[in-house]
């Protein structure tokens, strides 16, 4: 684990892979729940890093020492709840994605709906969950594709996309560079709901195909 400073009261813990990030996040979350990390204001997991933001410089220094002593769980805890998202596979990039994977469009849809996904972390926009496939040892990633060479200036609400190792659903209209494979009418962000995000870290997600 390598620490990189983010100003006077925050730091990034950089680790080798997403799985280690999620195990570290689980350990930090458990320690916070037990009241062991009192100075922590925010924790943000991402692809290779965990951002820890504290109330002050001195509480950051104490927190970093405590985090370095945490033992990580062997596996990432997965929530028992499963969220189902209904998707019309009508995305503009569906054919390009099939091309990248050297298969046909039907196979892309089959892989997307046959995979159990897990919300690794949230970011980019409120309620935007980064989903990764739940893989059994040795399984290859079913749908790894690069980002689009150019970002779109406007991606509609409910667009379902792929980028790198992730799949995701755009919670609101925004710019975006992900490959769009479909769309859903299931709202993924609603401030009047508790929690407002449908896709919370740890939750399992399945996609189901519906007619256009």
Partner 1 sequence: MSALEVVATGALTTPQDLGRPGLAGLGVAESGALDPGALRLANRLVGNAEDVTGLEVTLGGLALRARGEVLLAVTGAPVDVTVATSAGRRTHGVGAAVSVPDGAEVRLGSPGAGLRSWVAVRGGVDVDRPLGSASTDVLAGLGAPLAPGDVLEVGPPPDDAPPALDQAPLATPTDGTVVLRVVLGPRDDWFTDDALAALRRPWTVDARSNRVGLRLDGPALERSPAYADAELPSEGTVAGAVQVAANGLPVLFLADHPVTGGYPVVACVVTEDLPLAAQAVPGQEVRFRTVKGPRLP
Question: Given the rule CB under 8 A, which residues bind partner 1?
Answer: 3-12, 41-51, 53, 57, 60-61, 64-65, 68, 121-128, 172, 191, 195-197, 200-201
Element (H, E) at 54: strand 49-54
Closest distance between partner 1 and the C-beta of residue 106, in Å? Answer: 31
Q: Facing residues of 206 across strands? A: 84
Residue by residue, DSSP assigns 132-174 as: EE---TTPPPTT-BPPPSS-EEEE-TTEEEEEBTEEEE-SSSE
Nearest residue to 166 (alpha-carbon basis) of 185, 186, 143, 182: 143
Closer of 94 and 188 to partner 1 (Cβ): 188
Q: Which of 27, 50, 195, 34 is CA-nearest to residue 127?
A: 195
Min separation Cβ 179 and partner 1, Å: 16
Enumerate helices (H) and strands (E) in the chain, giving the number of each.
Answer: 4, 13
Question: CA 74 from chain center: how many Å?
Answer: 20
**Residue 136 Cβ vs partner 1, minimum distance, rounded to whole Å:** 24
Q: How far is the CB of 212 from partner 1 (least distance, A)?
A: 28
* Least distance between partner 1 and beta carbon 156 (Å): 15
Q: Where do the DSSP E strands lie in 55-116?
A: 82-87
CB of 82 to partner 1, least distance (A): 20
Q: Pick the closer one to partner 1 by CB: 109 or 168.
A: 168
**At CA 209, angle to CA 207 and CA 212, rounded to 5?**
130
102 or 192: CB nearest partner 1: 192
Q: Indicate the residue among 110 and 172 with the shorter CB distance to partner 1.
A: 172
Question: Is the CB of 48 or the CB of 206 nearer to partner 1?
Answer: 48
Nearer to partner 1, 30 or 51 (CB): 51
């Amino acid at each position: 684990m390598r620490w990189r400073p983010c100003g006077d009261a925050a730091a990034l813990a950089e680790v080798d892979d997403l799985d280690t990030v999620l195990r570290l996040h689980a350990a930090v979350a458990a320690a916070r729940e037990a009241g062991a990390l009192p100075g922590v204001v925010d924790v943000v997991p991402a692809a290779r890093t965990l951002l820890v933001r504290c109330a002050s410089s001195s509480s950051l220094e104490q927190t970093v020492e405590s985090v370095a002593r945490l033992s990580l769980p062997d596996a990432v805890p997965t929530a028992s709840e499963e969220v189902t998202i209904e998707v019309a596979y009508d995305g503009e990039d569906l054919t390009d994605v099939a091309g990248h994977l050297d298969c046909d469009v039907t196979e892309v849809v089959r892989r997307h709906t046959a995979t159990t996904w897990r919300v690794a972390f949230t970011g980019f926009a409120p309620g935007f969950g980064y989903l990764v496939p739940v893989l059994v040892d040795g399984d290859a990633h079913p749908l790894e594709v690069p980002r689009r060479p150019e970002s779109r200036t406007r991606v509609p609400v409910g667009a379902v996309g792929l980028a790198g190792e992730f799949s995701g659903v755009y919670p609101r209209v925004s710019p975006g560079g992900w490959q769009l494979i479909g769309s859903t009418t299931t709202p993924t962000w609603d401030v009047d709901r508790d929690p407002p995000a449908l896709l919370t870290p740890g939750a399992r997600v399945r996609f189901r195909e519906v007619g256009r």
